Structure 1
């Protein structure tokens, strides 16, 4: 059994992936946390995963730019 929110979470992961890509950022491990997907009582978690230092810097810069800092 999977969470009733699995489709919604999968869609949101795709949206996040597209938004990051628009800033030239790729998180290779981005996806749904599988144990949380099979729990029917809670919403699935998004696993951001690991990234290298350059990707972390790019993500920080994009978030700061979006925040106007």
Structure 2
């Protein structure tokens, strides 16, 4: 099994979906829900090397974005 943290590893659609599930659970543990959190599948078709795929986090309101930023700052301080 390859290490998904390895810089040479190219994530699959399954890897990306698993990442979304884990991120959604981690955010939910802090009371944060991002309905738009998803895999951005068109990024797998990109021409940049290597095609890696992106996670879409956008379309959240200001209160959610502020709460997310606070949780991330708190986590970085630990």
Q: State the TM-score bracket (shorter-chain normalisation).
A: 0.7 to 0.9
The answer to whether the 8 A contact 1:28-1:49 is kept is no
Q: C-alpha displacement at 1:68, in angstroms?
A: 1.4
What RMSD in Å do the two structures reach over aligned CA positions? 2.2
Q: Higher RCO, 1 or 2 (CA under 8 Å, sep at least 6)?
A: 1
Structure 1 segments of 4 or more deviating over 2 A? none
Q: Structure 2 unaligned runs (5+)?
A: 1-9
Going from structure 1 to structure 2, the CA distance change for 1:4 and 1:20 (only over 3 Å counts) comes to: closer
Structure with greater helix share of residues: 1
> Under a length normalisation based on structure 2, what TM-score does the superposition of the two structures give?
0.73
Q: Structure 1 unaligned runs (5+)?
A: none
